[in-house]
Amino acid sequence: MIEQYIRDVPDFPKPGILFKDITPLLQDPKGLEAAVSGLAATVDPSSYDIVCGIESRGFIFGTALAHHVGKGFIPIRKPGKLPWKTASESYELEYGTDTIEIHIDATEGANRVLMVDDLLATGGTMAAALKLVRRIGGTPVACSFVIELGFLPGREKLGDIPVHSLLTV
């Protein structure tokens, strides 16, 4: 169901990468509905208090899911974007490093966090996001992705936490 709405774009953003374009999924009401209700079905909403999404495609699915299940939403952003006090975490990329940030009070009053992103590749981004949430006192309960690149060991980088994906390629 989800698969038919994912467009493969070779060599984007650089040679050798097969980019999984989720814009056709967002564009079609049936696709968007399948993604949001699929994410809602993977983890029991009574097991978490709030949804956390990673910039920027994690914002789209995370916020839609949060609204669907009647919860709030926490953004994890690229450096320098969040206006209040932040915690930050850097992680290794193939070449160089990247950094993500969260507001230090993001989990106050809503401790159990469902982590959401569009795609799990190497797991570096989500592993850093898990560290951030834990550092500010939150408890991540599970990670949910729309797509998982099954040929990469992304899951292994996330430790013991349950990991769910709607589509494994």
**Interacting residue ranges for ligand AMP, rule: CB under 6 A:** 17-20, 54, 57, 117-125, 154
Angle, CA of 91, 35 and 152, to the nearest 5°: 35
Nearest approach in angstroms of CB 152 to ligand AMP is 7
Of the candidates 3, 55, 57, 77, the residue annotated as catalytic is: 57
Rounded to 5 degrees, φ, ψ at 81 are: -100, -30
Whether 57 is a known active-site residue: answer yes
Question: Which residue's entry shows tokens 């910039």?
Answer: 55
102 by DSSP, 3-state: which?
Answer: strand
DSSP 158: G
- Choice between 47 and 168, CB closer to ligand AMP: 168
Q: Is 33 among the residues known to form the active site?
A: no
Which candidate in 3, 77, 94, 101 is catalytic? 94
Residues in the chain: 169
Report the nearest approach of ligand AMP to the CB of residue 48 (Å). Answer: 20
If the CB atoms of residues 6 and 36 are measured against ligand AMP, the closer one turns out to be: 6
CB of 139 to ligand AMP, least distance (A): 21
Return phi, psi of residue 108, to 5°: -65, 125
Beta carbons within 8 Å of 55's beta carbon, 6+ residues apart? 75, 76, 77, 78, 81, 100
Q: Which is nearer to ligand AMP, 93 or 108 (CB)?
A: 93
Nearer to ligand AMP (CB atom), residue 34 or residue 54:
54
In whole angstroms, the minimum distance from the beta carbon of 57 to ligand AMP comes to 5
Active site residues: 57, 94
